[in-house]
Chains A and B, each alone.
Chain A
Amino acid sequence: GAVVSQHPSWVICKSGTSVKIECRSLDFQATTMFWYRQFPKQSLMLMATSNEGSKATYEQGVEKDKFLINHASLTLSTLTVTSAHPEDSSFYICSANLREASTGELFFGEGSRLTVL
């Protein structure tokens, strides 16, 4: 099956620093990747849709200047949390769809846990 890998799986950083999280589709090309945020014991909230070669589409309420998304190739999307603060601590999950697949063929990464001190 299709594999989506995230790196790092967990990261601890100081307040004010920036953190980059990578999402890679290992054995398929993904024209679209999605970034979700999950608070403890809560559901996943879609943050943005990342399209290869174009600007990301952010959901309402998500600060695009704080959560920078880059989708430079068909196998890699990155999420950079800029000037991180403790309230940004969360579990971030990406997903990708198979380029040639129909709606719903989404594959999720293992998630990246960010802790901001």
Chain B
Amino acid sequence: AQSVTQPDIHITVSEGASLELRCNYSYGATPYLFWYVQSPGQGLQLLLKYFSGDTLVQGIKGFEAEFKRSQSSFNLRKPSVHWSDAAEYFCAVAPRGGGNKLTFGTGTQLKVEL
């Protein structure tokens, strides 16, 4: 069965520290990969996406993610976290050629300590 796993439910980091949020997927073939961020009571904002090509993807707000086929992973990183980055982060996948049906991970709640 297709699935997306975000192993960390909660993560707390100090402002200025680096961040890595993990995402693993289980799919028949490499899907399209996404990271979204959700602030409380808000919709989702796309941070970055991977379709093909360079496996290191740059996104908005200083985020990047690296696709590793051998590990079926698409981890999100940021070198220096800002207090405004506190939010819920969702990894999502969509099948190639299967339209836009996204399957979301369970999310990781990021807390930033000042």
Contact A110 B49 (CB under 8 A): no
B72 at the interface (CB under 8 A from A): no
Q: In the assembly, what is the distance between CA of A59 and CA of B21, in Å?
A: 29
* Residues from chain B with Cβ under 8 Å of A104 in the complex: 32, 34, 49, 51, 94, 100
Residues of B within 8 A of A (CB-CB), count:
26
Q: In the assembly, what is the distance between CA of A115 and CA of B88, in Å?
A: 22
What DSSP secondary structure best describes chain A's contact surface?
strand
B12 at the interface (CB under 8 A from A): no
Whether A108 contacts B44 in the complex (CB less than 8 A), given A43-B107, A44-B104, comes out as yes
* Residues from chain B with Cβ under 8 Å of A113 in the complex: 41
Q: In the assembly, what is the distance between CA of A56 and CA of B44, in Å?
A: 22
Checking B34, B96, B97, B100 against A34 with a beta-carbon cut-off of 8 angstroms, the contacting residue is B100
* Residues from chain B with Cβ under 8 Å of A108 in the complex: 36, 43-45
* Residues from chain A with Cβ under 8 Å of B41 in the complex: 91, 111, 113
Q: In the assembly, what is the distance between CA of A46 and CA of B95, in Å?
A: 14
Chain A min CB distance to B29 (Å): 13
Contact A34 B104 (CB under 8 A): no
Q: In the assembly, what is the distance between CA of A6 and CA of B44, in Å?
A: 12
Chain B min CB distance to A3 (Å): 11
* Residues from chain B with Cβ under 8 Å of A114 in the complex: none
B46 at the interface (CB under 8 A from A): yes
B106 at the interface (CB under 8 A from A): yes
Most buried by B among A42, A45, A103: A103
Chain B min CB distance to A82 (Å): 24
Residue of A nearest to B51 (CB): A104
Within 8 A of B (CB), among A26-51: 32, 34, 41-46, 49
**Ranked 3 nearest A-B pairs via Cβ:** A108-B43, A108-B44, A110-B43
30 chain-A/chain-B pairs, Cβ below 8 angstroms? A34-B101, A43-B90, A43-B105, A43-B106, A44-B90, A44-B102, A45-B104, A46-B101, A46-B102, A49-B99, A49-B101, A93-B43, A95-B100, A97-B100, A103-B32, A103-B51, A103-B96, A103-B99, A103-B100, A104-B49, A104-B51, A104-B94, A104-B100, A106-B46, A106-B100, A106-B102, A108-B36, A108-B43, A109-B43, A111-B41
